[in-house]
A and B are shown apart, each in its own frame.
Chain A
Amino acid sequence: MKDGAPARILVLSSRPDILRAVADAAAEIDPPPEVRGLFGRPLNVLPTDLILVDVAEPRATMPYLHRRFGAASALVALIDGAWVDRLGSALAGDWTDYLFHPLNAAELGFVWKKHTSPAEAPNLNLDVDESGRIRVVFPSHVRYQRAVVERVVVACRHLADLDRETAFRLRVTLGEAVANAILYGSGDRPGAVVRISAKAYTAGLRVKVSDEGSGFNPEAVPDPVSAEGIGRPRGRGLFLLRQLADGVAFNETGNSVTLSFRGAPDPLVRIEPLLRRFADVTGLRFRLDRLFEDGSQVLFDSWEDGEDPGGPPEVRETWPLGDAGRLRLVHEPVRRGDAAAALLAGWIGAVAEGEQSQERLLARRLRRERVLAELEIARDLQLKLLPPPEDFRDLGRIAARCDPALSLGGDFYYLVRLADGCLGVMLGDVSSHGPSAALIMARTLSAAVLATGVEAEPAAVLDAMHGQLRAALDATEMYMTLFYGVIDPERGELRYANAGHPYAYLLGPDGVRRLTALDPPVGVAAVRSFRQTRLPSGGETLLAFTDGLAELSDPLETPDSRVRRRIDRGDLDPEVLVAALFADSDDEMRLDDRTAVAASL
Chain B
Amino acid sequence: MTFSIETLGTNTLVAVGGQLTINNRGEFKERVLARLAVGDTDFVIDFTEADYIDSSGLGVLVSLSKHIRDAGGRLTLAGLNEDLQRLFALTRLDSLFEIAESRAAALGES
- Interface residues of A, Cβ cutoff 8 Å to B: 88, 91-92, 94, 142-143, 145-146, 168, 171-172, 175-176, 179, 183, 224-225, 230-234, 236-237, 239-240, 243-244, 334-335
In the assembled complex, which residues on chain B have CB atoms less than 8 Å from the CB atom of A145?
Answer: 21-23
- Taking a contact as CB atoms under 8 Å apart, the answer to whether A243 and B90 are in contact is yes
Measured CB to CB, the nearest residue on chain B to A182 is B22
Interface residues on B, range: 20 to 34
Q: Does B109 sit within 8 A of A, measured CB to CB?
A: no
Contact indicator B55/A240 (Cβ below 8 Å): yes
User: B45-70 CB contact bits vs A (8 Å, 1 = yes)?
Assistant: 00001011011101110110010000
A-B contact pairs, 18 of them (CB 8 A): A88-B49, A172-B52, A175-B52, A176-B54, A176-B55, A179-B22, A179-B54, A179-B55, A230-B62, A230-B92, A231-B62, A232-B59, A233-B60, A236-B58, A237-B55, A240-B90, A244-B90, A334-B82
Top 8 A-B pairs, shortest CB-CB distance: A233-B59, A236-B55, A237-B55, A233-B63, A225-B92, A233-B62, A179-B22, A175-B54
Bound Cα distance A83, B96 (Å): 39
Closest to A241 in B: B55
Of all chain A residues, the one with the shortest Cβ separation from B59 is: A233
Q: Which residues of A contact B2 (CB under 8 A)?
A: 91
A92 to B18, CA, bound (A): 5
Give the residues from 1 to 41 in chain B that come closer than 8 angstroms, CB to CB, to chain A: 2, 17-19, 21-23
B-chain residues with CB within 8 Å of residue A237 when the two chains form the complex: 54-56
A335 to B, closest residue via Cβ? B82
Contacts of A172 in B (CB 8 A): 52, 54, 87
Q: Which residues from B are CB-within-8-Å of A94?
A: 18-19
C-alpha spacing A224/B58, complex, angstroms:
11
> How far apart are the CA atoms of A197 and B81 in the complex, in Å?
30
17 more A-B residue pairs beyond the given contacts A146-B19, A230-B93, with a C-beta to C-beta distance below 8 A: A88-B49, A91-B18, A92-B18, A92-B49, A94-B18, A145-B22, A168-B83, A179-B22, A225-B91, A231-B62, A231-B66, A232-B62, A233-B59, A234-B59, A236-B58, A237-B54, A243-B90
Q: Could you say which residues of chain A place their CB within 8 Å of the CB of B90?
A: 240, 243-244
Closest chain A residue to B29 by CB distance?
A233
Per the bound structure, the CA–CA distance linking A437 and B59 in Å amounts to 46
With a cutoff of 8 Å between Cβ atoms, the chain B residues found around residue A236 in the complex are 55, 58-59, 91
Q: Which residues of B contact A171 (CB under 8 A)?
A: 52
Q: How far is the CB of B92 from chain A (nearest CB, A)?
A: 4
